[in-house]
Amino acid sequence: MNHFPEAWGRPRNDVYGAYDASHLQSSMPNQHTQSPIVTGTSVVALKFNGGVVIAADNLASYGSLARFTDIERLKQVGTHTVVGAGGDISDMQYLHEKLLDPLIIKEEYQNDGHHLRASHIYRYLSRVLYQRRCKFNPLWNTLLVAGWDEGKSFLASADLLGTTFAAPALATGFGAHLAVPLLRRVCPDEAAVENITREQAIAAVEECMKVLFYRDARSLNKYSLAIITGEGVESVGEGAAKEKVTIEWKKDVELQNQSWKFAEGIRGYGAQVV
Amino acid sequence: MPSSTSIGTGYDLSNSVFSPDGRNFQVEYATKAVENGGTAIGIRCKDGVVLAVEKLIGSKLLVPGSNKRIASVDNHIGIACSGLVPDARHFTSRARSEASNWRKLYRSPIPISSMADAMGGYAQAYTLYSSVRPFGVTAIIGGMDEAGGPGLWMVEPSGVGWGYFGAATGRGRQAAKAELEKLPLPNITVEEAVKQAARIIYFAHDDNSKDKDFELEMTWVRLEKGSAEELEEGGATKGWGKHEEVPKELVAEAERLAKESMEGGGDEEMEE
Amino acid sequence: MSLPSMQPLGYDQSYSFHTPTSKASGEYTQHRFNPYTDNGGTIIGITGEDFVVLAGDTRHTSGYNINSRTEKKVYRLGEDNSLVLATVGFGADSKDVAETMMRAVNDFKFNHNLKNMTVSAAAQYLSTVLYGNRFFPKYANCILAGLDKDGKARLYSYDSVGSYSKEGESRASAGSASSLIVPFLDNQVEFKNQFVPSSKGQEERPVVPLDPVTVVKLVKDAFTSATERHIEVGDGLQIITVTKDGVSEEIIDLKKD
């Protein structure tokens, strides 16, 4: 009996000559990611007094082709956190399914009332992204991590290079150019956060999604929005701190009150005569 | 148990050797180890499952609430063990791998029956080879899945695994089984089962290891509040449950009632 | 290398944050993952006799975008010592180097009977860390400072592969506006090109150690000026002062335009 499974079912060498095994291994070297394939565009997020609001549209593009129009790019991770992803969709799915989901399940094994909070998830993701860039095999994403942590709202960004930063108003991709200036008008700095209501924050983010749809050719008029709100830190003895965190979802939201009036003024394209 | 005539005949020394009358003595010795363990029970309800363990406390120096005997192996499955604690740790660790691998393969949580199958197969493999010994553990696997609703299984050192409405193992199993049989299972709610489980553990303790200290450890598997998958069918709730510790207040109340019933029971015995 | 004028010849579009494209032999253009970027910002370190000041702006940029106005660049390497480290360059590498140093200083303490690493030991260790990545460098420009066992101020600056001067320096600057700031510090800290007035330009002004108030003033002047002239500098200024009495931090506003 031959104990090498790869030899089973093949012509006998002594009868047919040596087996040509060249097709068994690829002639190409191992390849690492050099560019994203199916991509999502901006993620937009803003802090307000008592929480954070985060939004991302439902489009996944294949180059300039609007390939999938029902992709969810915001995902709840654990009890305190929502992660929004721009960039490569398969890398995003890898992050969630292969890394974050098992991470959360393992955290719950302990059953000790401790849960991974937004800062923990953020730190974990940042290190994964940085380690992958150091291996020259990046996960091609820009992530926003929004949540509630130790009595405060949490919002921070991490990208495929491992670059990390935090601010009260953040947006990735095209939104970094178009949405951030709009959001900073509402919220110039951390001190301004306490004067922003939940409704104002939602309105500001919805306005950003609209402007992005007008000007970002890789965006969609259908998006998801998550509102993370927290209620302080209530002490429950034994040194454990318990926070009441609520995550409200608005999925498949259609853009409202669009105005394409400006389009009438555009000259120089199409069939119109001056 | 091997009869006194068969002990020392040599057939009880190896796993891979049958005795002439067709028994595997190593498995029977493993069962013996379980029979000395603290009582563990599981109750299958119409809306979930309750697991309870009588954790015998060997020393007053141990921190109360430490060294848990019921493990979470996935969001929706808990395993309560009786017998050798290190064996139980390894057994649950394997169950966690099974659950995680299932998710990787099928992108869904593992059904309770499949988990019981896998763990039965795993335990059975340890009855076949001379280089290993069977698990000195009987595990009660409780969970709740989308297709079958609440599920309760008990896997023994032999690898046998049956589904139950009420399961009991450990030194107080006889008393516990007698009590479980009196319940209208599975037609009770998780809340009712919590009280019954506490009472049964106290009862079984009183019956078998009165002189030892113990802690009551209880978990349940039920749908999370506001869970989307809830559907009623033939009276049973279905959906992916959440395995977690029974809230402290509920345990305290159940223990109070259990102690009350013990005092009542004690009086009766006095009268007899 | 973040402004067009500062790019070496040969690059057509010329920002450090652009993926360089190179023509492979033949007609194909090869695109490649570029593991670096420049997140802007500037740091300064100035010593006095028995104190040292380390400062950095708090702007974090990607190209023309301001990512955040509140990212700090100066780190304390422990709670109970005088070691401070400022890093600038590629944000991810900079933070990684800083965290590596924090961990090393902490580990050293537990491995050496709760004695803290001396500033000269930390300086050598940082060099080892950076040179350890010689063939995939951490794009982080570092300034390390602290007080030695005699209470004297020590300051070391590094290039991205770890070369540094064991003797230390009196002042240093790194980052995008360092070319604007270094000549200013030459003049104001080392008194370069200053002469004794009566000597008709014959006698150089003698170098004397500065006092903390003057140093902090110099730092603020350097940053307000750099903010005016460099787009990647601004928003906030973090100043950490180390004296024998402890370490203090001050954060003041810079222009946000």
In this complex, which of B72, B103, B245 lies closest to A109 when CB atoms are compared? B72
Give the length of chain C.
257
- Contacts of residue A259, defined as CB under 8 A and 6 or more positions apart, other chains included, come to none
How far apart are the two ends of chain B, measured CA to CA in Å? 34
Residue with the larger pLDDT of the pair A148 and B14:
A148
Q: Give the largest Cα separation in chain C, rounded.
A: 69
The pLDDT value recorded for residue C18 is 46
Distance (Å, whole) CA A77 – CA A117 = 9
> Is B19 a member of any domain?
no
Q: What total number of domains does chain B contain?
A: 1
Residue B2 pLDDT exceeds 90? no
**Backbone Cα Rg of chain B:** 19
Q: Where are the alpha helices (DSSP H) in chain A?
A: 13-16, 89-94, 101-109, 118-134, 174-186, 198-215, 261-264
The pLDDT value recorded for residue C92 is 98
Contact A133, C92 (CB under 8 A): yes
- Tell me the one-letter amino acid at A100: L
The pLDDT value recorded for residue C73 is 97
Query: Neighbouring chains of A at 3+ CB pairs within 8 Å?
Result: B, C
User: Taking the CA of residue B231 as centre, how many other CA atoms within 13 Å lie in the half-sphere pointing to its CB?
Assistant: 8
Q: Does C35 touch chain A (CB under 8 A)?
A: yes
| CB–CB contact B100 A105 (8 Å) | yes
Q: Which pLDDT band holds residue C74 (cuts at 50, 70, 90)?
A: very high
**Cα–Cα distance list, C255 to A165, A251, C235, C252 (Å):** 20, 40, 5, 10
- Contacts of residue A272, defined as CB under 8 A and 6 or more positions apart, other chains included, come to none
| CB–CB contact A138 C71 (8 Å) | no
Residue C154 pLDDT exceeds 70? yes
Distance (Å, whole) CA B175 – CA B54 = 13
Q: Which pLDDT band holds residue B6 (cuts at 50, 70, 90)?
A: low
DSSP A191: G
Domains of chain C: 42-254 (3.60.20.10)
pLDDT digits (tens, 9 = 90+) for B161-181: 999 999 999 999 999 999 999
- Tell me the one-letter amino acid at B111: P
Contact A43, A173 (CB under 8 A): yes
| CB–CB contact A108 B68 (8 Å) | no
> Is B214 a member of any domain?
yes
Q: How far is CA C155 from the centre of its chain?
A: 11
Q: Which of C219, C43, C224 is nearest to C141 (CA)?
A: C43
Interface of A with B in 165-184 (CB under 8 A): none
Q: Does A161 touch chain C (CB under 8 A)?
A: yes
| CB–CB contact A109 B68 (8 Å) | no
Q: Which of B215, B168, B201 is nearest to B58 (CA)?
A: B215
Q: Does C232 touch chain A (CB under 8 A)?
A: no
**Cα–Cα distance list, B84 to B12, B20, B88 (Å):** 20, 29, 6
The pLDDT value recorded for residue B235 is 66
> Is B77 a member of any domain?
yes
| CB–CB contact B103 A111 (8 Å) | no
In this complex, which of A34, A177, A189 lies closest to C69 when CB atoms are compared? A189
Distance (Å, whole) CA B57 – CA B38 = 10
The two tokens of residue B177 are 């089984």
The Cα of B75 is separated from the nearest Cα of chain A by a number of Å equal to 6
The pLDDT value recorded for residue C233 is 97
| CB–CB contact B103 A108 (8 Å) | no
DSSP B165: S
In this complex, which of A138, A165, A189 lies closest to C67 when CB atoms are compared? A165
Least confident of B4-18, B101-115, B221-235: B221-235
Q: Among all chains, which residue has been given the structure tokens 């030459």?
A: C186
Contact A53, A209 (CB under 8 A): no
Percent of chain C with pLDDT over 90: 86
Distance (Å, whole) CA C45 – CA B84 = 62
Query: Neighbouring chains of B at 3+ CB pairs within 8 Å?
Result: A
- Sorted by where each begins, the domain ranges of chain A are 38-231+243-254
pLDDT digits (tens, 9 = 90+) for B108-146: 999 999 999 999 999 999 999 988 999 999 999 999 999
Three-class SS state of C131: helix
Contact C140, C89 (CB under 8 A): yes
The two tokens of residue C85 are 């480290």
Catalytic residue among A33, A39, A142, A172: A33
Chain C residues in contact with A136 by the CB 8 A cut-off are 33, 35
Q: How far is CA C219 from the centre of its chain?
A: 13
Cis previous bond, A188, omega within 30: no
The pLDDT value recorded for residue A261 is 85
In this complex, which of A97, A98, A105 lies closest to B75 when CB atoms are compared? A105
**Helix A198-215 vs helix A174-186: angle between axes, to the nearest 10 degrees?**
150
Q: Where are the alpha helices (DSSP H) in A154-254?
A: 174-186, 198-215
Distance (Å, whole) CA A95 – CA A88 = 11
Buried b (16+ CB within 10 A) or exposed e, C7-20: beeeeeebbbbeee
Distance (Å, whole) CA A115 – CA A34 = 36
| CB–CB contact A111 B74 (8 Å) | no
Q: Which segments of chain A have a pLDDT < 70?
A: 1, 6-7, 26-28, 232-242, 271-274
Interface of C with A in 101-160 (CB under 8 A): 136
Three-class SS state of C175: strand
- Contacts of residue B237, defined as CB under 8 A and 6 or more positions apart, other chains included, come to B46, B47, B48, B144, B149, B150, B222, B223, B230, B231
Three-class SS state of A22: coil
In this complex, which of B75, B104, B107 lies closest to A108 when CB atoms are compared? B75
Q: Which pLDDT band holds residue C2 (cuts at 50, 70, 90)?
A: very low
**Cα–Cα distance list, A64 to A57, A59, A61, A219, C20 (Å):** 16, 11, 6, 10, 23
Q: What is the mean pLDDT of residues B244-255?
A: 95
The Cα of A151 is separated from the nearest Cα of chain B by a number of Å equal to 24
Beta-carbon contacts below 8 Å between A and C: 55
**Backbone Cα Rg of chain C:** 20
Q: What mean pLDDT, rounded, does chain B reach?
A: 90
Distance (Å, whole) CA C93 – CA C103 = 15
The pLDDT value recorded for residue B14 is 79
Answer yes or no: CATH 3.60.20.10 is held by domain A38-231+243-254. Answer: yes
Please say if A33 is a catalytic residue.
Answer: yes
The two tokens of residue B264 are 């009542």
Four-point Cα dihedral A120, A123, A125, A129, nearest 10: -170
Four-point Cα dihedral B99, B101, B106, B109, nearest 10: 20
The pLDDT value recorded for residue A177 is 96
Four-point Cα dihedral C103, C106, C111, C117, nearest 10: 110
Four-point Cα dihedral A123, A129, A133, A134, nearest 10: 40
Q: What is the mean pLDDT of residues C107-132?
A: 97
Distance (Å, whole) CA C60 – CA C70 = 8
Q: Give the phi and the psi of residue C12 in degrees, each rounded to 5.
A: -80, -60
> Is B154 a member of any domain?
yes
The Cα of B85 is separated from the nearest Cα of chain A by a number of Å equal to 17
The two tokens of residue A88 are 């490569």
Q: Which of A199, A183, A196 is nearest to A248 (CA)?
A: A199
Contact C72, C237 (CB under 8 A): no
Contact B80, B140 (CB under 8 A): yes
Report the residue of chain A nearest C37, measured CA to CA.
A161
Distance (Å, whole) CA A144 – CA A42 = 10
Distance (Å, whole) CA C43 – CA C49 = 20
With vertex at residue C7, the alpha carbon angle to CA C2 and CA C12, rounded to the nearest 5 degrees, is 110
In this complex, which of A97, A98, A111 lies closest to B244 when CB atoms are compared? A111
Least confident of A11-15, C18-22, C67-71: C18-22
pLDDT digits (tens, 9 = 90+) for C184-236: 999 999 999 999 999 988 999 999 999 999 999 999 999 999 999 999 999 99
Distance (Å, whole) CA C97 – CA C129 = 8
Query: Neighbouring chains of C at 3+ CB pairs within 8 Å?
Result: A
In this complex, whether A and B touch, counting 3 or more CB pairs under 8 angstroms, is: yes
State the residue range of the domain holding B67: 25-56+63-223+243-262
- Contacts of residue B246, defined as CB under 8 A and 6 or more positions apart, other chains included, come to B50, B194, B218, B219, B220, B254
The two tokens of residue B33 are 């180890």
> Is B20 a member of any domain?
no
Q: Give the phi and the psi of residue C187 in degrees, each rounded to 5.
A: -75, -40
B191: number of Cβ within 10 Å: 16
Q: Which of B134, B126, B143 is nearest to B79 (CA)?
A: B143
In this complex, whether A and C touch, counting 3 or more CB pairs under 8 angstroms, is: yes
Distance (Å, whole) CA B87 – CA B137 = 7
Q: What is the CATH number of the domain that holds B47?
A: 3.60.20.10
